[in-house]
Amino acid sequence: MKKSFLIARSNIRKAKGQTVTIIVLILLAALMLNLWLMLSMDYRKNFDRYHDRFHAEHVTLSVDGNTDEVQSFLSQTIESDERTEEYQLDSCMHMIGTFPYNDGEMNGWFVFLEKQAAMTRSIGNLEIVEEGNLTSGVYLPMLYKTEDIAVGKEVEISIGSQKVVYTVCGFFNSIMMGSHNCALTEIVLTKDKYEELERGGCAPQATLCSVRLTDRSENLNYEAALKSRVSEHYPNITMMSNCYDIVSQSRYIAQMICSGIMSAVAFFVLLIALVVIVSNIINYIQVNMKGLGALKAMGYTSGQLIFSLLLQFLCLTFLAAAIGAGISYLLFPAVNTMMIAQTGIPYTVHFLPAPLLVSFAVLGGTVALAVWSASRRIRKIEPITALRSGIQTHNFKCNHIPLERTKAPLSLALALKTTLSGVKHNLTVGITMLALSLVVVFSGLMTENVIADMTPFLNLIVGETADSCISVRVEAEDGFLAEMTGDGRVEKSYLYTSLNVSHVGGAELMATLCDDFSKINNQDLVFEGRFPKYENEIVIAAKYAKENGFRIGDEIEIAANGKQEKYLICGYTQISNNLGRDCLFTRAGYERLGLLTNASYYLNLDDGTDIDAFNLEMKEKFGGSVNTTINIETTIEGVASVYVSLMTIIVIATLVLSAVIISFVLYLLVRTMLNNKKRDYGILKSLGFTTGQLILQTSLSFMPSLLMSVLLGLTVCSLIINPLMALFLNGIGIVKCTFHVPLGFNIAAGVGLVLFAFLAVCLLSLKIRKIAPRALLAEE
């Protein structure tokens, strides 16, 4: 043990550059691995911790009306279900609404509760996290705390067709209704403001049902059953609901994206580190053949020599892993801040032993395996053979690029000779660049489809976007449509309304109705089969179809408003709003289950039209017939800005990380090459080769593997990136991605990658200046 330790220490001292490079690579892998594990092993559990702490409900339902009759029916229905553990009914008001948020708008279904009532609920507690001394105003979920929305400032909330200005009194945490991702957003008013809103009549009275279940996993089915019972009893009643599974997933989309990317990058960096370690060990054995032979001659066993290498690399690995894990704790608060901007649930950074141990185990295990597999060849070294002449590593079978016949210029020909005789170098460069190509293609994809223009991302995640959405009562529909047809600012208007239906024997589905799907902007909404044309047709989410074994051509029974009808599945969609529980009907198809009471119309307006002014004009023109208007553009901007910021940070971080990795890997390879070829370079210098020629020759020798791996990497990654993204986003219901792969960006990034690598090799090769032919002669 002591002898092996001495050899390991001597090896580390002799190869400081190699040691630093391996430490940096392992450190980066440990950093990413630990961050990923912290996010995936503990961060998500934070939702459950808060859920337990707030004694939160598993199913929330907000139903029109708070009369004794309604509440009595709800109590009986809930109590009659044996899955109910406990429940609470609260009087509230509810309405669709908006308020300014992040340079855009927050748009959602608001549930208004009086402060005292909200604070004393036995189920679904809330926690005030910030509060001023104000006694009259509004409390908002802490997610919406921004520079503009702060305690003491005023916020204008559109409630249905009215606008109300409140002073912000404070912020609170609510686990099931604390974000736009929850379907329901809780808004707490002081008593005076609550009563004022009641008097105003813009938000109808409602009952908020909060139900805790004996078995949490039943939440989806329970929600569907409860809504089905309510709609059977009160056809066409307005209600909105959420449940544990949907809320816990949708509040953690950013965490899922971020941890997915971190895991991918962590394993890429680890792969590169392992390739570098293997390459180093093979090179070490070749260069130190005589030394190893001498040690064997002195009586060292192969096992001791292999163990010394294991000891050397494991020491470095654990040192680097400890530093990397330490840095991950320094970075975690920043990651946490980004995550909270989307989850809206506070998280306290604390020491997590399990992710640390898993990181250490993964890194230690993979490095040990790599070292053992690469160093096994030490067993084959015979001391006498090694001491006499070393083991010939040159292949005498082939003289690559014979100068006598090649037409290539001398520097290029000599560079190619080096390339062709350096399989290990080429493999290391190839694997590194292949891995980094995927990072580059991913960065390009996100830049093009999220950061520069979010439309493709929105088409995939949101489904359909337009400029404005106006919800009108069906009685006013004809007049509204005539107005839209006659208004020159309206390019296109079409019915696009969402409501809930139930799959009989299955889950609650979010149904989207359209009078004519050929009018919608996102024709990729159905990616297999076709949009529904006839009243007996339905398109369902691919994820739901897969989970339930439905195929195109199958029948599915849907219930709403107390009626059940069978529909023929004619295609698959993948809207992720409801995490893969969606369906599409024609209006006529839906109205087999009951008539619409409200109809939302999506409008495409001429460029330059002031959407807010247009919406206001329509509200004034149609008065109470317009339920609500939404500026879709600003609503999306408000929510999307969080994702754009997150993605921008991820893209910049991955590109910087790529540059660091390339630099360190090339540093190690160039250093190894210069050490191995010091004698050759000395000879060439003595023959009259200049330093510039040798630097060029060295740099050119890296080019074939660089060019080929980047070309192959970019081509393959461009082809597989969409399927990979679909795999990655499967959790939120996406099964097929159609992101635009930016060929121009990829080509430019590929050229940039190669140029960067070329310049890096040139710079790293400057050490050739120090190789003097005199030193060669002095060796004699």
CB nearer other proteins, residue 260 or residue 422: 422
Q: Tokens at residue 151, please? A: 């305690």
Site mask, other proteins, residues 104-133, x = CB under 8 A?
A: ------------------------------
Q: Tokens at residue 430, please? A: 């190839």
H/E element, 556: strand 555-560
Residue 428 has, within 13 A of its CA and on its CB side, a CA count of: 28
Does 776 bind other proteins (CB under 8 A)? Our answer is: yes
- Work out how close the CB of 424 gets to other proteins at its nearest, in angstroms, rounded to a whole number: 14
Site mask, other proteins, residues 375-394, x = CB under 8 A?
A: -----------------x-x
Residues ≥6 apart with Cβ < 8 Å to 401: 408, 413, 416, 417, 420
Does 408 bind other proteins (CB under 8 A)? Our answer is: no
Distance CA 4, CA 306 (A): 9
Among 72, 122, 337, 690, binds other proteins (CB under 8 A): 690
What are the contacts of 354-357 at 24+ separation with CB within 8 A? Answer: 354/37, 354/41, 354/42, 355/34, 355/37, 355/38, 355/41, 355/42, 356/34, 356/325
Among 385, 536, 691, 722, binds other proteins (CB under 8 A): 691
- Total residues in contact with other proteins, by rule CB under 8 A: 33
Among 200, 679, 720, 755, binds other proteins (CB under 8 A): 679
Does 780 bind other proteins (CB under 8 A)? Our answer is: yes
Among 403, 613, 743, 759, binds other proteins (CB under 8 A): 403
CB nearer other proteins, residue 196 or residue 680: 680
Q: Tokens at residue 690, please? A: 């200049």
Residue 173 · residue 142 · CB < 8 Å: yes
Does 687 bind other proteins (CB under 8 A)? Our answer is: yes
CB nearer other proteins, residue 82 or residue 780: 780
Among 396, 549, 607, 608, binds other proteins (CB under 8 A): 396
Distance CA 68, CA 267 (A): 59
Distance CA 343, CA 100 (A): 19
Residue 310 · residue 371 · CB < 8 Å: yes
- Work out how close the CB of 644 gets to other proteins at its nearest, in angstroms, rounded to a whole number: 51
- Work out how close the CB of 736 gets to other proteins at its nearest, in angstroms, rounded to a whole number: 51
Does 295 bind other proteins (CB under 8 A)? Our answer is: no
Distance CA 9, CA 313 (A): 10
- Work out how close the CB of 688 gets to other proteins at its nearest, in angstroms, rounded to a whole number: 2
CB nearer other proteins, residue 374 or residue 401: 401
The CA–CA distances, whole Å, from 766 to 119, 755, 762 equal 70, 17, 7
Does 777 bind other proteins (CB under 8 A)? Our answer is: yes
CB nearer other proteins, residue 410 or residue 748: 410
Stretch that binds other proteins, among 378-386, 580-588, 688-696, 707-715 (CB under 8 A): 688-696
CB nearer other proteins, residue 121 or residue 685: 685
CB nearer other proteins, residue 69 or residue 779: 779
Stretch that binds other proteins, among 215-223, 274-282, 412-420, 524-532 (CB under 8 A): 412-420
**N-to-C CA span, the chain:** 38
Distance CA 365, CA 358 (A): 10
- Work out how close the CB of 2 gets to other proteins at its nearest, in angstroms, rounded to a whole number: 34
The CA–CA distances, whole Å, from 492 to 360, 467, 602 equal 58, 10, 8
Does 1 bind other proteins (CB under 8 A)? Our answer is: no
Among 417, 425, 543, 671, binds other proteins (CB under 8 A): 417
Stretch that binds other proteins, among 212-220, 544-552, 622-630, 689-697 (CB under 8 A): 689-697
Does 669 bind other proteins (CB under 8 A)? Our answer is: no
Say which amino acid occupies 55. H
CB nearer other proteins, residue 330 or residue 772: 772
User: What's the maximum distance between 2 C-alpha atoms anywhere in the chain?
Assistant: 106
H/E element, 541: strand 537-541
Among 399, 616, 748, 766, binds other proteins (CB under 8 A): 399
Stretch that binds other proteins, among 234-242, 328-336, 660-668, 677-685 (CB under 8 A): 677-685
Distance CA 175, CA 125 (A): 9
Residues ≥6 apart with Cβ < 8 Å to 653: none
Provide the β-strand partners of residue 499: 511
Site mask, other proteins, residues 343-382, x = CB under 8 A?
A: ----------------------------------------
Does 675 bind other proteins (CB under 8 A)? Our answer is: no
The sign one gets for the Cα dihedral 72, 74, 77, 79 is negative
Stretch that binds other proteins, among 319-327, 363-371, 409-417, 749-757 (CB under 8 A): 409-417
The CA–CA distances, whole Å, from 544 to 54, 368, 547 equal 31, 43, 5
What's the length of the chain?
780
Q: Tokens at residue 153, please? A: 């400032």
- Work out how close the CB of 677 gets to other proteins at its nearest, in angstroms, rounded to a whole number: 9
- Work out how close the CB of 404 gets to other proteins at its nearest, in angstroms, rounded to a whole number: 6
**What is the 3 state secondary structure string of 378-399?**
HHHCCHHHHHHHCCCCCCCCCC
Stretch that binds other proteins, among 65-73, 272-280, 370-378, 678-686 (CB under 8 A): 678-686
User: In the structure, how many helices (H) and strands (E) does the chain have?
Assistant: 25, 20
Distance CA 729, CA 261 (A): 11
Site mask, other proteins, residues 498-537, x = CB under 8 A?
A: ----------------------------------------
Distance CA 561, CA 238 (A): 10
- Work out how close the CB of 36 gets to other proteins at its nearest, in angstroms, rounded to a whole number: 43
Say which amino acid occupies 500. N
Residue 504 · residue 224 · CB < 8 Å: no
CB nearer other proteins, residue 88 or residue 693: 693
SS3 489: coil
Q: Position of tokens 């929330």? A: 60
Stretch that binds other proteins, among 305-313, 321-329, 413-421, 732-740 (CB under 8 A): 413-421
Does 769 bind other proteins (CB under 8 A)? Our answer is: yes
CB nearer other proteins, residue 652 or residue 772: 772
Does 683 bind other proteins (CB under 8 A)? Our answer is: yes
The CA–CA distances, whole Å, from 640 to 157, 350, 450 equal 20, 29, 9
CB nearer other proteins, residue 147 or residue 779: 779
Provide the binding-site residues for other proteins, judged by CB under 8 A.
Answer: 392, 394, 396, 399, 402-404, 410, 414, 417-418, 421, 679-680, 682-692, 769, 772-774, 776-777, 779-780
